[in-house]
Amino acid sequence: MAAVQLSEAEKVYLMHGVRDDLRLDGRRCEDYRHMEIETDVVSNTDGSAKISLGHTDVLVGVKAEIGKPKPMVPDEGYLEFFVDCSANATPEFEGRGGEELGVELSNVLYKVFNNRHSVDLRSLCICPGENCWVLYVDVLLLQCDGNLFDAISIAIKAALFNTRIPKVHISEDEEGGKEIELSDDPYDCVRINVENVPCIVSLCKIGHRHVVDATLQEKACSVASLLISVTHKGMVTCVRKLGRGSLDPESIFEMTEAGKRVGKTLHAPLMELLQKEESLGKKRQKVGFLG
């Protein structure tokens, strides 16, 4: 991820502010930056969303394709993730730097979202052991100013909410084989229940305190971070530590509790916004660059 070099004086100034619950941009330690979300922004996908979190911009597209279920779970579909770290987002994404970060992000997203607690994977099954829906989730990082995990997770939830999968009609041919027909009626579709889809909350340890939605400047003062994926009920589904520094048990407990508290408050306004935008239909004003 892009690194910012700060002088010792700048680090001390920033850390003293965090200690007093006042950050450089005026936020408190557990506040997010201004967030803008827009769905249905890419025409050749089954669902899409764009999010701007401060100066971090992420675009997510979801494409549903028929595939074969995995042998261990023959009655479930699954999700696949690909993260493209555009070199335009930051020069540090050029070459292997972007590839390695893309793989790291994809692995975390797979653990957070590709399980039956987050998405009803059984609803993606067409014929057990034979056919299922595979949701290919493509993430494009357009601009990076810290806190990629949170922005990506919110964009994925919004894109899944926007996803419409064609209804499947199964018939038998003369030889007894199964034929799969997809409805070409755009309104004859299946929606994904995103109620339990979690959002990731990243907490950066700075001094003896922690901050939510860290900027690149704050990230430069942090020795370790904790990623916590939280459902709308406040249930933690995944925890992962990032960074070379260590976290003591008391810090981990405090950061986990803060992540649960912050994560739980994210879902209601997000769903309210998505439902309001959808209710406007074609009347809604498209503000994205793809509008």
Q: Which has the minimum average pLDDT: 15-19, 182-186, 187-191, 218-222?
A: 182-186
**Mean pLDDT computed over every residue of the chain:** 88
How far, in Å, CA of 53 to CA of 213, rounded?
9
Hey, is 50 helix, strand or coil?
Answer: strand
Beta-strand relationship, 199-206 and 224-230: antiparallel
Rounded CA separation 22/24 (Å):
7
Residues 197, 160 contacting (CB under 8 angstroms): yes
**pLDDT at residue 289 tops 50:** no
Q: Which of 128, 121, 25 is nearest to 74 (CA)?
A: 128
CA 105, chain centre distance (Å): 10
List of long-range contacts for 20-27, beta carbons under 8 Å, 24+ apart: 21/209, 23/211, 23/218, 24/215, 24/217, 24/218, 25/215, 27/213
User: pLDDT tens digits for 133-190?
Assistant: 999 999 999 998 889 999 999 999 999 999 999 998 887 777 767 788 887 777 788 9
pLDDT digits (tens, 9 = 90+) for 22-36: 998 999 999 999 999
Give the Cα separation of 13 and 172 in Å (integer): 71
Enter the pTM of the model. Answer: 0.90
**For residue range 240-264, what is the model confidence (pLDDT) as tens digits?**
999 888 999 999 999 999 999 999 9
Tell me what pLDDT residue 117 has: 85
